[in-house]
């Protein structure tokens, strides 16, 4: 790794010698196609193709995060509702993207503390989301974890993390998550090792996983679970038992989305924001329109962006460097939610042929936004960023 870093560093250093014209901050050996903008003290100090529509990859999550923070509020907490009807436990989800094993264990303890000691079926109500198709145009459909499908009631990002031993035995790879029947079913025949598996290829696996996780956590709290797991809407007249609010406020959820570049979280936020704007149920169309309207309201010019989904996984999302810079200016109150990297705050974005950074250079406590989007075959993103920051440090703002 040190050897590779040294070669990369030498390559960057070689490019520091200016071209005869001295006109370009990034030479042709690094910049083939794309755009960039760098500001200092409110002034643009470097620019290339600021109005070109480009594929932003995961830097698009800044737009989705800003939408959610301003539409739902940084202190917003996702809810999950629990009802009893004829002895069955009905669970209605509202899109909590961080409904993970630890949260489910906490819910089970609270239900037990409220006097729930025996139930029949566990009935899963995911009707808050009505997704007219499984994926937005251009989004991934693979079995990889980052392609996991969204839903109103989904646990652990719609993925399981399992280990398979040399004898074919399957177990949970996470201490906080019990080994469940769906894990054994999906792990059967897989090679030894650790595997994170996207369950959304078949909807029933997602439902089984959710129901099995709740059932096991309830049993650990002494609650008898006598029935099966099934899907169904909460019936009229069902007795409300508990309204759970996520232990994490939205600001922490957005920070997690940005840190781990989690596509699932991003689209949960998009869908929830659409429902907040236009009413339930949440749909892809409402989510897209909510983001589009919000970007227009923030002053982004018509034609400076195109919205398909919230994560940046779809190549149908497009934005100009100047429009993304505008979003960063407005995101400044939430800048600390971005990952820190060598004194910068930034979000990366990567697809095949797309290599991007967007964030802030720190100048003595002053955060100056910058955008770098390379839509080219060669990934020279890190070297380009080093050169742009060097130019930024050497330039005096007027």
Which tens digit of pLDDT belongs to each residue from 54-101?
Answer: 999 999 999 999 999 999 999 999 999 999 999 999 999 999 999 999
For the cut 70, the answer to whether the pLDDT of residue 5 exceeds it is no
Please say if the pLDDT value at position 15 is more than 80.
no
What kind and span of H or E run contains 287? helix 284-297
- 49-58, 125-134, 179-188, 279-288: lowest mean pLDDT where? 125-134
**127 touches 281 (CB < 8 A):** yes
Rg for the chain (alpha carbons), in Å? 24
Does residue 379 carry a pLDDT above 60? Answer: yes
Task: Say if residue 303 is exposed, middle or buried (CB neighbours under 10 Å; 0-12, 13-18, 19+).
Answer: exposed
Instruction: Quote the pLDDT of residue 94.
Output: 98
**Residue 203 burial (CB count, 10 A):** 14
Per-residue confidence at 288, pLDDT binned at 50, 70, 90? very high
Confidence of residue 14 (pLDDT cuts 50, 70, 90): low
The tens digit of pLDDT for each residue in 159-204 reads: 999 999 999 999 999 999 999 999 999 999 999 999 999 887 677 8
- Mean pLDDT confidence for 272-288: 97
pLDDT at 200: 77
Q: 222-274 pLDDT, tens per residue?
A: 999 999 999 999 999 999 999 999 999 999 999 999 999 999 999 999 999 99
Long-range contacts of 169-173 (CB under 8 A, 24+ apart): none
Tokens coding 278: 């236009």
| 111 and 221 Cβ atoms separated by less than 8 Å | yes
Domains and CATH numbers, the chain: 12-72+252-394 (3.40.710.10), 79-248 (3.50.80.20)
Q: Which long-range contacts (CB under 8 A, 24 or more apart) does 11-20 make?
A: 11/383, 12/383, 12/386, 12/387, 15/383, 15/387, 16/387, 16/390
- Provide the pLDDT confidence category of residue 339 given band limits of 50, 70 and 90: very high
Nearest of 196, 233, 212, 195 to residue 91 by alpha carbon = 233
Residue 148: per-residue pLDDT: 82
Query: For a pLDDT cut of 90, what percent of the chain falls above it?
Result: 86
pLDDT at 190: 92
140 has a pLDDT exceeding 70 = no
What confidence tier does 307 reach under pLDDT thresholds 50, 70, 90? very high
Please tell me whether residue 130 adopts helix, strand or coil conformation: coil
Distances (CA, A) of 107 to 69, 81, 305: 25, 10, 41
The reported pLDDT for the residue numbered 203 is 76
Mean pLDDT, the chain, whole residue set:
91
- Judge whether residue 134 has pLDDT over 80: no
| Residue closest to 159 by CA, chosen among 107, 103, 217, 101 | 101
Residue 78, pLDDT score: 98
Q: Helix or strand or coil: residue 232?
A: coil
Q: Which residue has the higher pLDDT, 16 or 256?
A: 256
**What pLDDT does 396 receive?**
81
Phi, psi of 145 (to 5 degrees): -60, -30
The answer to whether 228 touches 190, Cβ cutoff 8 Å, is no
Indicate whether 327 pLDDT > 60: yes
């Amino acid at each position: 790794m040190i050897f590779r870093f040294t070669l990369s560093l030498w390559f960057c250093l070689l490019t520091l010698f200016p071209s005869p014209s001295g006109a370009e901050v990034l030479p042709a050996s690094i910049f083939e196609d794309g755009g960039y903008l760098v500001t200092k003290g409110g002034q643009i100090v470097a620019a290339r193709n600021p109005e070109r529509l480009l594929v932003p990859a995961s830097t698009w999550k800044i737009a989705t995060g800003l939408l959610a923070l301003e539409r739902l509020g940084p202190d917003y907490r996702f809810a999950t509702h629990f009802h009893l009807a004829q002895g069955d436990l009905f669970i209605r989800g509202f899109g909590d993207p961080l409904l993970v094993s630890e949260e489910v264990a906490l819910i089970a303890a609270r239900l037990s503390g409220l006097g729930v000691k025996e139930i029949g079926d566990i009935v899963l109500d995911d009707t808050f989301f009505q997704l007219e198709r499984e994926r937005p145009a251009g989004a991934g459909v693979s079995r990889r974890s980052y392609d996991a499908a969204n839903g109103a009631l989904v646990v652990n990002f719609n993925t399981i993390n399992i280990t398979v031993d040399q004898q074919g035995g399957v177990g949970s790879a996470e201490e906080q998550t019990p080994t469940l029947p769906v894990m054994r079913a999906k792990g059967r025949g897989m090679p030894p090792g650790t595997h994170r598996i996207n369950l959304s290829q078949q909807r029933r696996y997602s439902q089984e996983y959710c129901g099995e996780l709740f059932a096991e956590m309830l049993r650990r709290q002494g609650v008898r679970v006598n029935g099966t797991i099934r899907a169904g809407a909460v019936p009229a007249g069902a007795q409300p038992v508990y309204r759970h609010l996520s232990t994490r406020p939205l600001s922490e959820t957005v920070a997690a989305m940005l840190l781990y570049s989690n596509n699932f979280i991003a689209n949960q936020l998009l869908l929830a924001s659409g429902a907040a704007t236009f009413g339930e149920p949440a749909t892809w169309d409402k989510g897209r329109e909510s983001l589009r309207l919000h970007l227009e309201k923030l002053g982004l010019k018509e034609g400076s962006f195109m919205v398909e989904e919230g994560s940046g996984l779809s190549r149908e999302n497009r934005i100009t460097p100047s429009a993304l810079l505008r979003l960063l200016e407005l995101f400044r109150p939430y800048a600390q939610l971005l990952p820190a990297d060598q004194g910068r705050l930034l979000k990366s974005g990567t697809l095949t042929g797309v290599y991007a950074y967007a964030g802030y250079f720190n100048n003595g406590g002053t955060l100056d936004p910058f955008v770098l989007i390379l839509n080219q075959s060669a990934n020279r993103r890190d070297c380009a960023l080093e050169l742009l920051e060097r130019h930024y440090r050497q330039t005096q703002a007027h």
